A and B are shown apart, each in its own frame.
Chain A
Amino acid sequence: MSKTSPGKPTSRRAFLRGAAATGLGAAAGAASANTSDPLITEVQPWASGLGDGVDVTPYGLPIEFESDVIRRNVEWLTADTISSVNFTPIHALDGTITPQGCAFERHHSGAIELRKEDYRLMINGLVDTPLVFSYADLERFPRENHVYFCECAANSGMEWAGAQLNGAQFTHGMIHNMEYTGVPLRTLLQEAGYDTAGKWVYVEGADASSNGRSIPMEKALDDVLVAFKANGEALRKEHGYPVRLVVPGWEGNMWIKWLRRIEVSDAPVESREETSKYTDVLEDGTARKWTWAMDAKSVITSPSPQSPITHGPGPLVITGLAWSGRGAITRVDVSTDGGKTWQTARLAKPGEKMALSRFYLDTEWDGSEMLLQARAMDDTGYVQPTKNQLREVRGLNSIYHNNGIQTWWVQTTGEAENVEVS
């Protein structure tokens, strides 16, 4: 039933079938054709008959030929799919905005259905007047638009001990990047009259997991957004409809979905998600806590294991994503020899704070093996470290915050594999 486009196989087997279909290794088709192409010389059905009318799909989904560009999960990672995670198909996307329908999901008690009419947001604790807002109330505050990435702290977490999952979707796909519309948390705190003795806000969701996190007041007053739209439309259920918190640059677990309560307090709650989870065990067994910021990171999305080279030697576009939770991406370097030499890639546009940047290296492939790497830099001067540099500081058990440099081994056939290099 599902049709896989020849350019996007996800395994060696699919790759070989795809390669046969596109004539891998043959000189580029159109330029050297000596028999005429019936797709041009013969009238095709779509050039003669009629297509669908309007309203055939009142809300459109991607065309069937793109049906493999979907979120996927890794079954063995979690006990069930209710408290679990899946991955954005970053290997098949371009630009920087992630469509909501394929943006990764992470739930602790499943994606609930909460109507706007049933939605309530409470602010309590150290405030002059504890308040309750309806959804309609939120829409009456001045609102802002910002593009931010949301990355799970566990993105690339399966790779701490070594190369494990064969695809950018699985190694780096716990990330999405959307344009949010919402009200600054600062505005709501001011409305309730927050006490300056309150150094923290505790934010909590309405689902059964009651996922809650403590955020320092300084961040809460800075750029945190109470968001109700993403990419112009309502949030999807799986991303917290009708209201979620947006905590720019900080780990995704803090972006509370189905936000129902904000409590101003003088101390952190030390909830499950900020003690037993989302803390980073170091080599000696002590653990770091409050590791909120996502450090600068990058990954080449194509070529990659799920997006191999199918066209043979010649012009090749190497592309990928870079981001930093501490600022804007200023530069991305790419290596084709496993880190011996580097060249600076082209940013599609200047980096924006806490948002994905797209980079391109427009190059010629001579058909030989490559060890592809990307290395991001942000406007603090930070340079993305290698995986071994990270391991020297943190050991192998941190799970979270793995922002080490990724290597793809591109073979002469154009296939790619997740590897680690010396």
Chain B
Amino acid sequence: MSKYLKPAALLTVGCLISAPALADDFGLGRPALPDEIAAWDLDVRPDGTGLPVGSGDALTGEAVFADKCASCHGDFAEGVGNWPKLAGGEDTLADPDPVKTVGSYWPYLSTTWDYINRSMPFGDAQSLEADEVYAITAYILYSNFLVDDDFVLSNETFLDVEMPNADGFIVDDRAETEYPHWTGEPCMQDCKGTVEITMRARVLDVTPQSEEEAATTAEPSETAPETAEQEVEQAVAEEAAAPDPELVAKGEKVFRKCKACHQVGDKAKNRVGPHLNGVVGRAAGSVDGFRYSSALETRAEEGLVWTPEELSAFLASPKSYMKGTKMSFNGLRKDADLEAINAYLATFGE
């Protein structure tokens, strides 16, 4: 035998390498049970397929929305900060910055119901009852002036709602409108006359810098003379808290999980959650201008104070500690994390 394979043999080997032989049926997996399919197959189609029996009106929806949605989406579904606007924007789609909301843009009502049902509230998905989803959806329609406040949305009235932008979409037409024009041998020489710079990114200055650069950009603080008052303040602070720097640093890392909703430090403001300056030791529910859940307000009236122990108990499992809290956070599992975050938060005074 030659030590080299014949071409035909090579070909066979090649086929074996690229394409594994396929049986029709491997007999793997197991049949899905009806209740398993019912638990996961929740999607709702534009024709209403998949909607459960249920109903809710816009006024009921307003209350549910205020409790569960408004901290991000605003009382009138107008959106808070960078969080999505759900209402408004009619007739803006051809403008320089179109406002794309449920009313102005979304072509199907089923999408709204389906998304709220499966994915909202943010951090507490799949916690809503079907009637609540109908009510919230009705309120969003009402906020967009698409229905009256006594409108009852149900699986039976669902298809009565007309979405303003239902006909606003076309299927991808790049194959006709773009590809033929941008195909073929491109220009290589003398392709244009003069070339001028028309816009520069540095003028906008919105590019993030690395940490090192940010540090060198900051005003040098060591040149500022330290006043006696500052020294005293610092000494008092150190004596009072005597924070363990390692623990505080660890707490700062743990706090990354909280930063999306809570701010601390000089410029801290209320965002999705209240600012946390001075939270350790303060009375619960006492930050001005923040609308707490009714669950938290009740506990505050009972005299709850955020001692390190209470904070730890809350943060370990927010929803079991305080049923009805707005805080969509699953909890810190490790005692070490709880200790660290207490130490970190304690470094921020009022």
Contacts and interface: CB of A to CB of B under 8 A. Distances in A.
A260 B213 contact: no
A385 B191 CA distance: 14
B183 A341 contact: no
Contact of A122 (B36, B43, B46, B207): B36
A79 B97 CA distance: 18
A129 B31 contact: yes
Given A204-B43, A209-B125, A341-B188, A419 B169 contact: no
B229 interface: no
Nearest to A202: B43
B172 A288 contact: yes
Interface stretch (B5-13, B18-26, B278-286): B18-26
B201 A270 contact: no
Given A285-B98, A383-B186, A421-B195, A109 B125 contact: yes
Contacts of B261: 80
Which of A144, A163, A409 has most B Cβ within 10 Å? A163
A10 B111 contact: no
Given A11-B209, A381-B184, A397 B98 contact: yes
A271 B46 CA distance: 9
Interface string B146-183: 00000000000000000000001111111001110111
Interface string A403-414: 000000100000
A288 B168 CA distance: 9
B220 to A, nearest CB: 14
Contacts of A276: 100, 102, 105-106, 111
B195 A261 contact: no
B171 A142 contact: no
Contacts of A269: 43-45, 114
Looking at A142, A275, A333, the one whose CB has the most chain B CB atoms below 10 A away is A275
A88 interface: no
B98 A339 contact: no
A389 B182 contact: yes
Q: Which of A13, A132, A337, A417 has the most CB of B within 10 A?
A: A132
A118 B87 CA distance: 39
B208 A260 contact: no
B232 to A, nearest CB: 31
A292 B169 CA distance: 15
Nearest to A80: B260
Contacts of A292: 172
Interface in A190-219: 190-192, 202, 204, 208-210, 212
B305 to A, nearest CB: 29
Nearest to A274: B111
Interface stretch (A70-78, A95-103, A223-231, A233-241): A70-78
Given A167-B207, A210-B125, A371-B195, A418 B31 contact: no
Dominant secondary structure of chain B at its interface with chain A: loop
Contacts of B211: 2
A306 to B, nearest CB: 9
A44 interface: no
B4 interface: no
Nearest to B214: A11
Given A13-B217, A421-B195, A272 B111 contact: yes
B205 to A, nearest CB: 8
Contacts of A131: 29-32
Interface in B36-56: 36-37, 40-47
Interface of A: 2, 4, 10-14, 68, 72-76, 78-83, 108-109, 122-125, 129-134, 137, 140-144, 162-167, 170, 187, 190-192, 202, 204, 208-210, 212, 260-261, 263, 267, 269-272, 275-276, 279, 281, 283-293, 295, 305, 333, 337-343, 371, 375, 377, 380-385, 389, 393, 396-397, 409, 417-422
Interface of B: 20-22, 24-26, 28-32, 36-37, 40-47, 72, 81-83, 93-94, 96-98, 100, 102, 105-108, 110-111, 114-115, 118-119, 122-123, 125-126, 168-174, 177-179, 181-184, 186-202, 204, 206-213, 216-217, 259-261, 272
Given A133-B29, A261-B40, 12 more contacts: A122-B36, A125-B41, A131-B30, A134-B29, A170-B207, A210-B125, A276-B106, A281-B93, A286-B93, A291-B172, A383-B183, A419-B198
